[in-house]
Amino acid sequence: MTWTDDDLIMVSALEHYAYCPRQFALIHIESVWDENVFTLKGTRLHERMDEPVVETRAGLRVERALPIWSDHLGLVGRCDIVEFQCDGTPYPVEAKPSKTARRICHDVQVCAQGMCLEEMFGVPVPAGAISYLGSNRRREVDLTNALRHTVETMVDEIRRLLRTGVTPPPVNDSRCPNCSLIDACVPEVIEQVRASRLERSLYIPEPEP
């Protein structure tokens, strides 16, 4: 499959879309970005990991900041860490500053990384992991068929959204207080405007036939 530059999707964008399609659109269509404590931690973390490094740990090859892509899905990106098992199987590890209540956001990202690595190296990638640096813990993510299907569906939805260029309405729910874009998004204000427009439209009399 051949993709134009406009059709290529960053693997990291899946996390934004999974969190909130409006957040994705604000960042990737409207080029809005703002920092909060979570994004600042993430930025610092990834600054430390952006230097490509190949090393050997416990006899295994480990690559940091490895560029990845999938011609099949039209994805491009970078893996924080890829550990190559004894049999050569790549094991992607995505570093996150802390846990999230919405695990799916991290899971789709690591699954997409695994799908890219499968295509690049021509071997099955059954699992990956999220590494939470705050706690030095890892959570393994099984790259199940259901999760892969979610990634494929999300990639299609993202591509459709990018083609329309229309930012979706706010979700205005429990995601918003922790969202770095809340000031740019103003979800409550937009919801009020939408609600009052809807209310007004209900009172506009239908034209006489």
The footprint of ligand SF4 (CB under 6 A) covers 20, 22-23, 26, 170-172, 175-176, 179, 181-182, 185, 187
The least distance separating ligand SF4 from the CB of residue 22, rounded to whole angstroms, comes to 4
By C-beta, is 128 or 187 nearer to ligand SF4? 187
By C-beta, is 24 or 91 nearer to ligand SF4? 24
By C-beta, is 46 or 102 nearer to ligand SF4? 102
Tell me the three-class secondary structure of the chain, residue by residue. CCCCHHHCEECCHHHHHHHCHHHHHHHHCCCCCCCCHHHHHHHHHHHHHCCCEEEEECCEEEEEEEEEEECCCCEEEEEEEEEECCCCCEEEEEEECCCCCCHHHHHHHHHHHHHHHHHHHCCCCCEEEEEECCCCEEEEEECCHHHHHHHHHHHHHHHHHHHHCCCCCCCCCCCHHHCCCHHHHCHHHHHHHHHHHHHHHHHCCCCCC
The least distance separating ligand SF4 from the CB of residue 172, rounded to whole angstroms, comes to 6
The least distance separating ligand SF4 from the CB of residue 87, rounded to whole angstroms, comes to 41
The least distance separating ligand SF4 from the CB of residue 38, rounded to whole angstroms, comes to 12
By C-beta, is 20 or 68 nearer to ligand SF4? 20
